[in-house]
Amino acid sequence: MASISVVIPAKNEQGNIGKLIKEIHSSLQGYPQFEIVITDDGSHDHTAQEAINSAAECGCPLQVIRHAQSCGQSTAVLTAIKHAKGEWIITTDADGQNDPSDMPKMLEAASHQTNPHFCIAGFRAQRQDTAWIRFQSKIANTIRHALLGDGVPDSGCGLKIIPKSTYLQLPYFDHMHRFLPALIKNIGGDIVIHQVRHRDREIGTSNYNAWNRAWVGIIDILGVIWLQKRTQRPTIANIYTSASTQDD
pLDDT by residue (tens digit) across 5-41? 999 999 999 999 999 999 999 999 989 899 999 999 9
Q: Which of 208, 209, 202 has the alpha carbon at shortest distance from 14?
A: 202
d(CA 132, CA 26) in angstroms, rounded, equals: 33
* 213 is a domain residue: yes
Cα-based angle 95, 99, 100 (whole degrees, multiple of 5): 105
Which pLDDT belongs to residue 146?
Answer: 66
Sign of the torsion formed by the C-alpha atoms of 139, 140, 144 and 150: negative
Tens of pLDDT, residues 211-222: 455 445 666 776
Which of 57-71, 119-133, 163-177 has the highest average model confidence (pLDDT)? 57-71
- Based on the structure, what is the number of domains in the chain? 1
User: Which domain covers residue 162, as residue numbers?
Assistant: 4-230
* 52 is a domain residue: yes
Q: Is the pLDDT of residue 152 over 80?
A: no
d(CA 185, CA 56) in angstroms, rounded, equals: 38
What are the C-alpha distances in Å from 138 to residues 124, 209, 215?
Answer: 12, 15, 15
* 223 is a domain residue: yes
Which pLDDT belongs to residue 90?
Answer: 98
CATH assignment at residue 115: 3.90.550.10
pLDDT band with cut points at 50, 70 and 90 for residue 160 = very high
Which pLDDT belongs to residue 107?
Answer: 98
* 86 is a domain residue: yes
Which pLDDT belongs to residue 129?
Answer: 58
pLDDT band with cut points at 50, 70 and 90 for residue 243 = low
d(CA 178, CA 220) in angstroms, rounded, equals: 9
How many Cβ atoms sit within 10 Å of the Cβ of residue 173? Answer: 14
* 181 is a domain residue: yes
* 138 is a domain residue: yes
Identify the burial level of 205 via C-beta atoms within 10 angstroms of its C-beta, where 0-12 means exposed, 13-18 middle and 19 or more buried: exposed
* 238 is a domain residue: no
Which pLDDT belongs to residue 93?
Answer: 94
Kindly state the percentage of the chain with pLDDT values over 90. Answer: 59
Which residues, in sequence order, are CB contacts of 182 under 8 Å at separation 6+? 144, 148, 149, 150, 152, 155, 224, 228
Return the minimum-mean-pLDDT range out of 11-15, 87-91, 106-110, 231-235: 231-235
* 163 is a domain residue: yes
